[in-house]
Structure 1
Amino acid sequence: MAKRTLGVSVYPDHSEVEVDKEYLAKAALQGFSRVFMSMLEVSDGQEKVMAKYHDLISYAKMLGYTVTLDVAPDIFDQLGISYYDLSFFKQLEADTIRLDTGFDGKTEAMISYNPERLNIELNMSNDVDYLNNILSFSANRPFIWGCHNFYPQRGTGLPLDFFNSCSKRFREQNIETAAFVTSQTGKLGPWDINDGLPTLEMHRDLPVIIQAKHLFATGLIDCVIIGNAYASDEELEELGRMDRYQLAFNVKLSSDIDEVEREILFDDQHVRRGDITDLVIRSTEVRQKYGPSDNPQSSGVHDFRRGDIVIGNDEFGKYKNELQIVLEPHSDPRKNLVAKISEKELFLLDYVTPWAKFKLEAI
């Protein structure tokens, strides 16, 4: 399985090169390493396209990006080039071409042996046996990648169950995968409709950090790409700081939290106990470290609901200072309410599976 990466998108046929360069430089500083460039709207000839794209791509390569060009059959016709001769894209210094439209399987397999050693990126957003068909023609597997579509029109993004089914086809074959999230500030995309550019419809109005946490938490996506341009500096920084390998929940602290409880929340690696329960997510290893520490019963409420974070107090015997995240409402005076998970992140609790690692971060 590939290491997890972050990407941004630029649209050279709708933007100024210097603005794109500035954006790529900012994102590179935050650890972004992949750039998606749309060539679906190209209308100039080879010479002008080469000049425009090569300048931007060479700058991206200097910053350490791998570059994907999104192409369609009519672009090849307009530029007078062939799928069986990808030297034009090699001269542009691209690393990957994304086939916006599929062929018959045999064709994609043949293209994957291109002498330029360009990766061939397949559209993941169809729940059909497309990938296996290509692989059955003895495709050059290390050069086959997958990437979902994005959906500019509100209401047209993928539902989660369908997304999972499509993605598992690629994960089961150990093919590198990518999907899109949408910036809440970006206005630029490939078309004149831009209600955001997510892969999943449920992401369209969420903060971009939560979208990215979700895609990585599914275990099905290796690269999360911001579909629209331009993400804000704050969005880039937040994504750059995120842990790509375990969920970190944003929490709001209770007013009466004590110092021991604060340490338990933030200073330790949390692990969900393997023998799980429906009632709570139990992080039990912390109680071994903090068991001797006093933790009086709080004067606050002891009625809990989903997303509340509680810690066992002095009345909880051997379970004192065990941290729990509430899944089902209940009451228990032996537990202190110390924090609450952000409402928008509650759905991510479904991804804290047996033995899953997780962190907590103060809002």
Structure 2
Amino acid sequence: MLGISIYPYKENIDETLLYIETAAKYGFKRVFTNLLMVESGKEKSVIENLKIAILHARKFDMEVILDLNPAVFEQLGISYQDLTYFKKMGATGIRLDSTFDGLIESLITFDDTNLDLEVNISNDTYYLENVISYEPNRKRIIGCHNFYPQRFTGLDYDYFIKCSEKYKKLGLRTAAFVSSQTADHGPHDYTDGLCTLEMHRDMPIEVQAKHFIAVGLIDDIIVANAYASKEELRALSKIRTDQIELDVEFSKGVSLLEKEIITENQHFNRGDINSYSIRSTYVKLKYGKCDIPDNNSHDLVKFGDITLGNNSFGQYRGEVNIVKQEMPNKGHEKNVVAKVTKENQFLIQYIKPWTKFRFREAE
């Protein structure tokens, strides 16, 4: 599921409503916002705008998660024993940026409002195990990583994997944030991009999302800063969320049949893997008797090349490979039909035995 973030206390409400409509048009189904930055004395005006925005999102059947902490309950004079206030605002769930004691969280999951409880999963602690020890309604607990406005403070990849695996094993639906390269603000005064993973900070937004999909541990991907451009929302809406999809640039003179084999078929890696190539062999059952003449073959094939077995390759005619390391092609049995784009090449490492994947021609 794809989502956006809104901050009506910093944004023009009309622009916010238009942004929600645009995102909904492109299939986005989640909205993240928060009450953490509400200044004392301005609660009424902020909450009025926030309610307008949330109810507008609900018109498009979008989930809306409100980021809170215990101090917000105190500031607004609200008891954790009655979440009606947030339900009336239109929220479908609340996120706790910091924690209570575990028992309170468990009680929140049984609140009559049926609001989901979203917990912070960027911490390698036993917090969720503590909550679970108090027998919560697990069906109403979801998880979301943090985002980081300061450069060089986003999560390291290995730590992100460790945390995500931990919470995924506990059965949580998970979410993480990607950063728009055109948006200029978030909830805080200072923002140098907003991302969960530091390595994502300067990547195109759709590549960030494709990385999360390739990793396979994140269910929902949310744009953290506002406003992402229409082009970015469109780019996100066009990616596959069910499997790895590699953008490719086709070689000059590639045939229509070669393009069809690459882009119009489901591919998967063989289980008996090797260190030289990813082998999509199932397609040759369909194309193994087709005429595939020698076309753009080379003495060497290189990392990221996509090759297709041609007429001279016997029983391997029609087999598709992604090259993982340079190797000879002296017999010119393999046509170099395309190359994985530079920005997508790091995703090749996530194709494991039996991994399903697709190719898409780069725009």
TM-score class, shorter-chain normalisation, is over 0.9
Q: 2:218 aligns with which of 216, 221, 243?
A: 221
Ranges of 4+ aligned residues in structure 1 off by more than 3 Å: 44-50
Q: Does 1:90 align with 2:87?
A: yes
- Show the counterpart of 2:266: 269
Q: Which residue type is aligned with residue 226 of structure 2?
A: A
Q: 2:15 aligns with which of 19, 22, 29?
A: 19
Q: Which residue type is aligned with residue 108 of structure 2?
A: I
Q: How many residues align?
A: 359
Per-residue deviation, residues 216-275 of structure 1 (Å, max 9, x unmatched): 221211100000011111111111121110111110111132232112111211121122
Q: 1:39 aligns with which of 26, 31, 35?
A: 35
Q: What's the secondary structure of 1:23's corresponding residue?
A: helix
Which range moved further: 158-167 or 349-358? 349-358
Per-residue deviation, residues 6-54 of structure 1 (Å, max 9, x unmatched): 0000011111111010000000011000000121111245543442222
Q: Which residue type is aligned with residue 335 of structure 2?
A: N
Report if aligned partners of 1:281, 1:325 keep a CA contact under 8 Å in 2. Answer: yes
- Show the counterpart of 1:345: 344
CA distance in 1, matches of 2:295, 2:53: 59
Q: Which residue type is aligned with residue 24 of structure 1?
A: I
Q: Which residue type is aligned with residue 15 of structure 2?
A: V
Q: What's the secondary structure of 2:259's corresponding residue?
A: helix
Q: 1:74 to 1:353 in 2, by over 3 A?
A: same
Shift of 1:133: 1.4
Q: 1:191 aligns with which of 188, 191, 199?
A: 188
CA distance in 2, matches of 1:80, 1:196: 33
CA distance in 2, matches of 1:358, 1:327: 15
Report if aligned partners of 2:270, 2:354 keep a CA contact under 8 Å in 1. Answer: yes
- Show the counterpart of 2:51: 54
Q: Which residue type is aligned with residue 3 of structure 2?
A: G
CA distance in 2, matches of 1:198, 1:46: 27
Which range moved further: 116-125 or 298-307? 298-307
* TM-score, normalization by structure 1: 0.96
Shift of 1:156: 0.4
Report if aligned partners of 2:70, 2:99 keep a CA contact under 8 Å in 1. Answer: no
Q: Which residue type is aligned with residue 22 of structure 1?
A: L
Q: Does 1:355 align with 2:354?
A: yes
Q: Does 1:137 align with 2:134?
A: yes
Per-residue deviation, residues 258-305 of structure 1 (Å, max 9, x unmatched): 232112111211121122221111110111111111222235533122
- Show the counterpart of 2:112: 115
* TM-score, normalization by structure 2: 0.96
CA distance in 1, matches of 2:23, 2:202: 22
CA distance in 2, matches of 1:135, 1:73: 19
CA distance in 1, matches of 2:257, 2:30: 42
Report if aligned partners of 2:310, 2:318 keep a CA contact under 8 Å in 1. Answer: yes
Percent of pairs with identical residues: 44
Q: What's the secondary structure of 1:13's corresponding residue?
A: coil
Q: 2:235 aligns with which of 233, 238, 248?
A: 238
Report if aligned partners of 1:302, 1:337 keep a CA contact under 8 Å in 2. Answer: no
Report if aligned partners of 1:9, 1:36 keep a CA contact under 8 Å in 2. Answer: yes
